[in-house]
Structure 1
Amino acid sequence: LKPLSPLSARPWPQGDQPVPALQAAAEAHLDRAALDAAVQAAFDEQNVGGYPDTRAILVVQGGAIVAERYAPGFDQNTRMLGWSATKSIMGTLVGLLVDDGVLKLDAPAPVPEWKGAGDPRGAITLRQLLTMSSGLAFVESYKPGNDSIRMLFEAGDMGALAAASPLEHAPGTFWSYSSGTTNLLSRIVFEATGGTLEGMTRFAQQRLFEPAGMRSALIEPDESGVLVGSSYAYATARDWARYGLLHLNHGQAGGKRLLSQEWLDFALTPTPVSPRPSYGAQLWLNRAEATEVGRKVLQDMPPDAFMAMGHNHQIVAVIPSQDAVIVRLGWTPEGQKFDWNKHLSRIAAALAPAVEPVK
């Protein structure tokens, strides 16, 4: 594989140079004092050990970076782990293959272990895997001995461990968040791109990371050579923001369409069997229905927001109504909490409604 291309002098977001007209338009519409105070507050909150929880905050509005700050020891070139925000990237890679016609949403998922005669798992579709409604048994809680811990820290072949999960509910009838499900998707992408680590990595780099400007992005593989799509994507804060911008800009980056509108519409459609409309296809949604007041994922954020979210409170929040992306990366220890609703909603409140595009 060719090395990551160096940082360029191209305009943001394909490069790192600000665009003066976009920058001026964005600055004119926001509350600078309130935004700076909200970003500062996210860094002021510390965990019990006295270490800063937040390592990076980056805010984009109107196509311009309007806030960017890092904790000591971190900067715009530091790759940071997204944990389960990786799931959204893996969902996007599946989307590229669906757009290509290589994979079919409503065909049985191509999992060899389920091909035996009479195996009820053979009816599970790609759509059901993407929307966490496969019906497979998988314990996601992070306690010693549970499925997620065994998979992420003991299994050499994470997809095989997930494929061995028994069926607990009829496919398409029950929603259950599962890192195992996403690692099944990873193995499906692996096989669809040639069945090698090189082939899968090249596909991710050439079809998503490079066109979106995500020069730093990489996903760590397990021992079987399959990228760990549930958890192990690393990227700079700017590149996590570029991933959000791909969705904010309707699947387009660098003047080219990477993802179809049909795929994006599917990814942002609430899973029908979820108890609340908070999950699409490997993306979290901030919607709430009239009967579910107070049950948005981020209660004080706009209802059109959608998010890639990960352990230790990693988040890439896309807010179409404000033409904005907010990235927060950090390391909140087990048993402690970073109040991402409070901090992200304060940042969003300092931004304006959608900035008119510069002609």
Structure 2
Amino acid sequence: MKPKFYISILFVFLIFSCSSNESKEDEEEQVNDELYFPSLTSDTWETKFIADLNWNESELESLLDYLEEKNTKSFIVLHNGKIVLEEYMNDHDATKAWYWASAGKTLTTAVSGIAQDEGLININNKVSDYLGTGWTSATLEKENLITCKNLLSMNSGLDDTTGDDVSPANLQYIADAGSRWAYHNVYVKMQDVIAEASNQDWSDFFNTSLRDKIGMTGQWINLGDLSVYWSNARSMARFGLLTLAKGKWETTQIIPESFLNEATNTSQNINEAYGYMWWLNGKGSYHLPSTQVEFNGKLIPNAPDDMYAALGKNDQKIYVVPSQDLVIIRMGEAADDDTFALSSFDNDLWAKINALVD
């Protein structure tokens, strides 16, 4: 009986040992694949090889040729925070700044969440609580219907056909707040709200509450009636990574996770594909700038359903895909014709990305 007993014990030990080793290997693999954050004080950024991800490397050249042909200046792909692709083309490089256009609206969204978390604002409060009455040309009754959340959701009810000027005379009533979705530059009033509530310049509050905390560079530049953010592509990638990480940078929660969850889900009952200035894929219908038409189907059919995006004029893009641990950045001139946000380029580009990643 003894030999059989010892053999059984040895067999159990070997099974346990193998399982333990496999468990350790799994744990090590999980640790090695945790979300990575680049240094705040240097430009060091860890990379991954396409081959290590089992992506279709044979599709890479086709993607890069397409990007260059479509007037791209910078293109970055992060997986779990590490750089898989970083390409510069068409006379651009890693040190040069480029404009975010309306993709930068999501920076205002982020800082709104931070300001609310600090108790400076409440997005459910009316805008006139912070700016005083008369910030629009609407009647007091109609103006007082407009909340900060309406500004973030693009359903203020103000006329979107009067241009980018946000002086009171140009902010004209067309419908009650919450009853009409329209892409409108009035969102910049959220920057004024935060400046008033914090008793700081908008750019100063932005820099200390967000930019500097994640190692971004860049600045807001006034172009006529618009305040536009300019930075290098890596700064845009840092912000995309912060969003993928649910508002946390390493161990520090910068944007409240609950607020970011609101921001990246449908924020009103008119445009399903819009949150707080984030565009949402995978919904049943969507609206586009400069039209009241409702389109059926997903915003970008070729993109993953859980993808959400910051989209700017002339194809400035931040794509965030939680299910695939991806952040994708595109900066450049318009791929084809000038556009406000979404273009056919989005869907065509995702076909190329899928060919590489799938």
Alignment TM-score, normalising by the size of structure 2: 0.77
User: Partners in 2 of 1:251 and 1:41 — Cα distance?
Assistant: 32
Question: 1:167 Cα shift?
Answer: 1.9
The answer on whether the counterparts of 1:133 and 1:273 sit within 8 Å (CA) in structure 2 is no
The answer on whether the counterparts of 1:175 and 1:273 sit within 8 Å (CA) in structure 2 is no
Once the two structures are superposed, residues 65-88 of structure 1 have per-residue CA deviations (whole angstroms, 9 ceiling, x without a partner) of 111111142111111101111111
Question: 1:231 Cα shift?
Answer: 5.1
The 5 A counterparts of 1:299-310 are 299-310=301-312
Flag the structure with higher helix content: 2
User: Partners in 2 of 1:60 and 1:117 — Cα distance?
Assistant: 48
Once the two structures are superposed, residues 117-173 of structure 1 have per-residue CA deviations (whole angstroms, 9 ceiling, x without a partner) of 84321121111111011111122xxxxxx412xx2xxxxxx4x35x75122111111
Q: What residue number does 1:99 align with? A: 117
Letter in 1 for 2:238: R
Q: What residue number does 1:134 align with? A: 156
> CA 1:316/1:183 → structure 2, altered by over 3 Å: closer, same or farther?
same
The answer on whether the counterparts of 2:134 and 2:140 sit within 8 Å (CA) in structure 1 is no
Q: Does residue 255 in structure 1 map to residue 260 in structure 2?
A: no
The 5 A counterparts of 1:21-100 are 23=48, 27-45=52-70, 53-100=71-118
Q: What residue number does 2:29 align with? A: none
Q: What residue number does 2:333 align with? A: 331
Within the candidate set 40, 43, 55, 1:16 is matched to: 43
Q: What residue number does 2:268 align with? A: 272
Letter in 2 for 1:138: D
> CA 1:335/1:203 → structure 2, altered by over 3 Å: closer, same or farther?
closer
Gaps of 5+ in 1: 1-9, 46-52, 140-145, 152-157, 353-359
Q: What residue number does 1:119 align with? A: 141
- Aligned-partner SS, 2:73: strand
Once the two structures are superposed, residues 217-260 of structure 1 have per-residue CA deviations (whole angstroms, 9 ceiling, x without a partner) of 2112478xxxx7x6510011111111111110110114311011
Gaps of 5+ in 2: 1-35, 287-293
> CA 1:296/1:237 → structure 2, altered by over 3 Å: closer, same or farther?
same
> CA 1:348/1:327 → structure 2, altered by over 3 Å: closer, same or farther?
farther
CA radius of gyration, larger in:
2
Q: What residue number does 2:172 align with? A: 166
User: Partners in 2 of 1:26 and 1:132 — Cα distance?
Assistant: 42
Alignment TM-score, normalising by the size of structure 1: 0.77
> CA 1:256/1:340 → structure 2, altered by over 3 Å: closer, same or farther?
same
The answer on whether the counterparts of 1:212 and 1:254 sit within 8 Å (CA) in structure 2 is no
- Across the aligned residues of Structure 1 and Structure 2, the Cα RMSD in angstroms comes to 2.8
The answer on whether the counterparts of 2:121 and 2:194 sit within 8 Å (CA) in structure 1 is no
State the structure with bigger RCO (CA 8 A, min sep 6), 1 or 2: 1
Question: 1:18 Cα shift?
Answer: 3.8
How many residues are treated as equivalent by the alignment? 307
Q: What residue number does 1:288 align with? A: 283
Identity over aligned residues, as a percent?
Answer: 23
The 5 A counterparts of 1:205-216 are 205-214=207-216, 216=217
> CA 1:118/1:190 → structure 2, altered by over 3 Å: closer, same or farther?
closer
